[in-house]
């Protein structure tokens, strides 16, 4: 891993908070975000953990496409549309989904 890798990133969905560093390791979705758009975190190859909050309602298609290191997703019961997290490919990659 590069020395300049981003350990943790807070995704806000606006401005600089919408531009996800491709070398990020852990992402926390800000409570103001109600929907994660299509391909928001795609190709974040170092991403291992994502924390979602209880007000999040939707995760767009291919949001975690090619996040090959992703092993943990912390999901609240409030999340309604987990299109990407329910796909067979992502389920093989994620070893732990916590509610």
**pLDDT digits 0-9 by tens, 59-87:** 888 888 889 899 888 877 766 655 544 44
Backbone angle region of 43, left / alpha / beta, with phi > 0 → left and psi within -120 to 50 → alpha: left
Residue 91 pLDDT exceeds 70: no
**pLDDT digits 0-9 by tens, 13-58:** 999 999 999 999 999 999 999 999 988 999 999 999 999 888 888 8
Check the CA dihedral 20-11-13-52 and report its sign: positive
Structural domains for the chain: 8-98 (3.80.10.10)
C-alpha gyration radius of the chain: 12
| Confidence category of residue 96, pLDDT binned at 50, 70, 90 | low
**How much is the pLDDT for 78?**
66
**How much is the pLDDT for 93?**
47
**How much is the pLDDT for 98?**
57
**How much is the pLDDT for 28?**
95
């Amino acid at each position: 891993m590069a020395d300049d890798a981003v350990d943790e990133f807070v995704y806000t969905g606006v401005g600089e908070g919408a531009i996800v560093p491709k070398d990020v390791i852990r992402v926390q979705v800000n409570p103001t975000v109600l929907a994660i758009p299509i391909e928001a975190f795609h190709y974040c190859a170092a991403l291992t953990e994502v924390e979602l909050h209880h007000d999040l309602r939707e995760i767009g298609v291919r949001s975690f496409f090619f996040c090959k290191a992703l092993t943990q997703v912390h999901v609240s019961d409030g999340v309604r549309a987990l299109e990407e997290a329910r796909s067979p490919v992502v389920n093989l990659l994620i070893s732990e989904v916590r509610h």
